[in-house]
Chains A and B, each alone.
Chain A
Amino acid sequence: MRWLIALLFMTVPALAETVVLGLSQNEIAITTSFDGSEILVFGAVKREEPIPEGPPLEVIVTVAGPSEPVNVRRKEKRFGIWVNIDAVEVDQAPSFYAVATSGPLRDVLSEVEDLRHKISVPQAIRSVGAPMGITDAASFTDALIRIRTANNLYQLMESHVAVDDQTLFRGRIELPAALTEGDYQTRIFLTRGGEVISEYETSIDVRKVGLERWLFGLSREQPILYGLMSLAIAIAAGWLASAAFSLLRT
């Protein structure tokens, strides 16, 4: 694969416009008081030549959390009650996905380019196929996007990236409080007339730290100890409250 990319680069002339990126932070520490975070994405376009003629430069920023398979279930009425009947497994769905653009999405990105680079929210989800007997698999992925958008986990922010003089850009991505750990892949696309002309990729490291890190680690590596500790805390708290109240009474 690598030699193929190298070959491609040899045949294609050096990109005329490339991204120089800055991030307000490339590490997010989840502490006990973590309540969401905001990442400022800013940068400049580096070019050797004057600004090309034609459609103006547009910028798209995407941030994607770690992907995992999810089960989407649908309720139906059977014997007078609402029960889960059909289920579709979506093979890969990011736990968080945000797209910020410098203009309306379809103006800054053509559908073909969207398919190629998997930029918009529906493209970020990979669903191989529904089980037999389910004809409307699309409504399940739509539901997944709808539910996660309502929870602020999937965001499409059109015209949220400011571009100055086709050279400087800045945008902000808001990360919700319900963030999972992992590498958050961050991509910047430069487009002109709907075509992607340059792409830049980096990642933001989201990690639990301190007490959060310790407890999470303990629960996975020493589950028996962790369980006993939880019980000990419960018993101690129960006894303490009882003792305190009987002291209050006397």
Chain B
Amino acid sequence: MQIYLPIAEVSVNAFLLLGLGGMVGILSGMFGVGGGFLMTPLLFFIGIPPAVAVATEANQIVASSFSGVLAHFRRKTVDLRMGCVLLVGGLIGAALGVMLFNYLKSMGQVDLLVKLCYVVFLGVIGALMFIESLNALRKTAKGGTVSTRRKHGFVHKLPFKMRFRVSGLYISVIPPLLVGLAVGVLAAIMGVGGGFIMVPAMIYLLGMPTKVVIGTSLFQIIFVTAFTTMLHATTNFTVDVVLAVLLLVGGVVGAQIGTRIGVKMKAERLRFLLALMVLLVCGKLAFDLLVMPSELFSVGAVEGH
């Protein structure tokens, strides 16, 4: 069934969009990532103009994250206090990120920077997670229990300590604020919710348990992407609500299924799968940069028109 999208001005297959939304929704519920870094390239591929794809994707992530976070709330796997601290850092970071983005845009080559950012961050995060989770998987396969490492390094000497009961942490608010800030900057530059950076950062930098991380990540993604949606809708007029509805119907259902799968899975296996997915996307992006494209030319709108 073909549907004409009023803002994107293209006609697309409705069932294809429902399927795509559902698939990304499952990943979102399972891993606590928004899925923007997967969905946006897929939308480009089926012919949605890039600007519309990025803006509409943000709106869809609001829906699937909200659907996912409700399921996590019911299981009490959302650290609201940690989520709020991360969000405060994240919003400051996003504002800084937008300023940095505009500065880079005035220098040209912002597309390239975004792509390089993706390859570097996805590559490093994916590789580290892959190795760590593989080791953890091996240990559990041998029958041993995974020891939860509690490092008492400089992080615990910092002031402004706060108790994060759901995460079982008593740490300074400075590291989560900084993590939020850094992710906010990157998210603004790369045009995504930042879940795929936030999730590993919470696990490895803050030492939060994997189960709590997913719900907490979804919680803060809702606010970041809602903010992005409003920004795109009011400045670029590129949010296509028909496209968003098609994607989010699949997305919200997928997120519910994904959450249930995620709860049943072992934490290290979950991390292993997320690492694989991140590496896959990274590999595809690196491939595009390194291999000669079949069409060297591309057609785009003239800016300022």
B-contacting residues of A (Cβ < 8 Å)? 30-36, 68-77, 80-84, 89, 139-140, 143-144, 146-148, 177-181, 208, 211-213, 215-216, 219-220, 223-224, 226-231, 233-235, 237-242, 245-246
Which residues does chain A contribute within 8 Å of B62, judged by CB atoms? 231, 234-235, 238
Is B245 located at the chain interface by the 8 A CB criterion?
Answer: yes
B302 touches A230 (CB 8 A): no
The minimal Cβ–Cβ distance linking B275 to chain A, given in whole angstroms, is: 24
A166–B68 Cα gap in the complex (Å)? 68
Is B298 located at the chain interface by the 8 A CB criterion?
Answer: yes
Query: A82-B288, A233-B63, A245-B256 provided; 11 other pairs, C-beta below 8 A?
Result: A73-B298, A80-B290, A81-B290, A84-B109, A178-B10, A178-B47, A219-B239, A233-B241, A233-B248, A237-B248, A238-B67
B293 touches A82 (CB 8 A): yes
Residue of A nearest to B238 (CB): A219
Can you list 21 pairs linking A and B with CB atoms under 8 Å apart? A72-B297, A82-B293, A143-B295, A147-B299, A177-B4, A177-B10, A178-B10, A179-B9, A211-B6, A213-B6, A215-B6, A219-B237, A224-B234, A230-B244, A231-B59, A233-B241, A233-B248, A237-B245, A238-B248, A238-B252, A242-B71
Which residues does chain A contribute within 8 Å of B6, judged by CB atoms? 208, 211-213, 215-216, 219
Known A-B contacts A219-B233, A231-B226; the reply to A144 vs B299 at CB < 8 A is yes
Is B150 located at the chain interface by the 8 A CB criterion?
Answer: no
Known A-B contacts A73-B300, A75-B296, A239-B66; the reply to A84 vs B11 at CB < 8 A is no
Q: Which of A75, A76, A179 has the most CB of B within 10 A?
A: A75
B234 touches A223 (CB 8 A): yes
Which residues does chain A contribute within 8 Å of B68, judged by CB atoms? 238
Which residues does chain A contribute within 8 Å of B289, judged by CB atoms? 81-83
Which residues does chain B contribute within 8 Å of A226, judged by CB atoms? 233, 239, 241
A178–B9 Cα gap in the complex (Å)? 6
Is B217 located at the chain interface by the 8 A CB criterion?
Answer: no
A-contacting residues of B (Cβ < 8 Å)? 1-4, 6-7, 9-11, 47, 59-60, 62-68, 70-71, 74, 109, 111-112, 226, 229-230, 232-234, 237, 239, 241-242, 244-245, 248-249, 252-253, 255-256, 288-293, 295-303, 305
A181–B5 Cα gap in the complex (Å)? 12
A227–B229 Cα gap in the complex (Å)? 7
B4 touches A147 (CB 8 A): no
The minimal Cβ–Cβ distance linking A149 to chain B, given in whole angstroms, is: 12
The minimal Cβ–Cβ distance linking B25 to chain A, given in whole angstroms, is: 9
A189–B246 Cα gap in the complex (Å)? 44
A55–B3 Cα gap in the complex (Å)? 47
A71–B71 Cα gap in the complex (Å)? 46
A178–B295 Cα gap in the complex (Å)? 21
A84–B289 Cα gap in the complex (Å)? 11
Which residues does chain A contribute within 8 Å of B244, judged by CB atoms? 230, 233-234
The minimal Cβ–Cβ distance linking A158 to chain B, given in whole angstroms, is: 25
A223 touches B245 (CB 8 A): no
A224–B235 Cα gap in the complex (Å)? 10
A223 touches B237 (CB 8 A): yes
Known A-B contacts A35-B2, A231-B226; the reply to A242 vs B70 at CB < 8 A is yes
Known A-B contacts A230-B59, A231-B226, A237-B67; the reply to A83 vs B242 at CB < 8 A is no
Residue of B nearest to A246 (CB): B74
Which residues does chain B contribute within 8 Å of A147, judged by CB atoms? 295, 297-299
- Tell me which of B10, B111, B297 contacts A143 (CB under 8 A): B297
A15–B74 Cα gap in the complex (Å)? 81
Which residues does chain A contribute within 8 Å of B290, judged by CB atoms? 80-82
B248 touches A70 (CB 8 A): no
